[in-house]
Amino acid sequence: MASQPASLSLHEAARGMGVPFSQENEPVDRNIEVNGMNFHYLEWGDPTDPTVLMLHGNSQQAHSWDFVSLALSDQYHIVALDQRGHGDSDWAPGGDYSVEAQTGDLDGFVQALGLNGFALFGHSMGGRNSYVWASSHSEKLKALVIVDTGPQTIRRGSERIRGFRELPDELDTFEEFAQRVQEYTGRSPEQVLGALKYSIRQRSDGKWTWKYDKIMRTPGQRPPGWTPEQLWECVARITCPTLVIRGDRSDLFAEETMRKMQEVIANCETVTISGAGHLVQGDNPKDFVIAVRELLGRVF
């Protein structure tokens, strides 16, 4: 099989992005069975430190948090989960990617690891799963961080993401995927190459494809989501300290929605990160880390 092009190491890339970190930590790959499925996750730092659990967005995986995990792992125990159908976790039997199934996984994962009094971070799809779960389990959380998502989304951004997801998903070379992702994200080739290796795989016929379940990128196959009204009801039940983060260039999460979330959630702050689109923690990890460190420093 063809080898992947060389890319910057995580530590080199983090320095290039200005990410503040004091230790050159690396994650440990773990696996655990939950609800009859195998779930892969990354573990960073000392397990005796306060725990932060991170959930990625749709089509992403646990390594999408690497810059943030690296920066925080000197003081915190970081657990970054590959959600069902993503990364190295099992694909869902019967293609069940409903909100109920995903939050059920989160509930089982938290119980299996014995987590309590932890912080929960979620981006996009993972952010929705996080606040839906938190609406019934706020007592287990020291803090909740919701990244660039809310009960309502901007149609333009949703259509852009859908269009990217539904592009041909079988390409001849790793480089073709890298070019596509670079055009979509606007990131440098070095940054794209470093992260992409965790998101695609080479098949036995030599072609490259995404690692996440094909059903989620097939038009008409994804399960219907909850209504905005249902999601607003969940948001209103959150009682733990909450930080809502938005990228200033986001075309998916409106500032108006963020302001309404701050009004609806009992104990909520908001931060807008400059120079960031929807993929906030990857676009500007330096300022993202500054924002969440301030919150974590207060709750732990």
What per-residue confidence (pLDDT) applies to 185? 83
pLDDT band at 6 (very low <50, low <70, confident <90, very high): low
pLDDT value for 3: 47
Query: Tokens for 62?
Result: 């646990």
Confidence of residue 183 (pLDDT cuts 50, 70, 90): confident
**Whole-number percent of the chain with pLDDT over 90:** 78
115 has a pLDDT exceeding 90: yes
Pair 138, 234: CB distance under 8 Å: no
CA nearest neighbour of 36 among 85, 93, 115 = 93
Work out the average pLDDT over 157-163.
86
Mean pLDDT, the chain, rounded, equals: 93
The fold adopted by the segment(s) 22-155+226-299 is Rossmann fold (3.40.50)
The pLDDT value given to residue 192: 79
Q: Is the pLDDT of residue 297 over 60?
A: yes
Domain spans of the chain? 22-155+226-299
pLDDT score at 221: 65
Q: Which residue has the higher pLDDT, 48 or 166?
A: 48
pLDDT at 222: 67
Residues 248-279: tens digit of each pLDDT: 999 999 999 999 999 999 999 999 999 999 99
- What is the average pLDDT across 79-92? 97
Counting other chains too, the contacts that 14-17 makes at CB distance below 8 Å and 24 or more residues apart are 14/67, 14/70, 14/71, 14/285, 16/190, 17/67, 17/191, 17/285, 17/286
Instruction: Using a cut of 0.85, tell me whether the model's pTM lies above it.
Output: yes
Length of the chain: 300
pLDDT of residue 193: 75
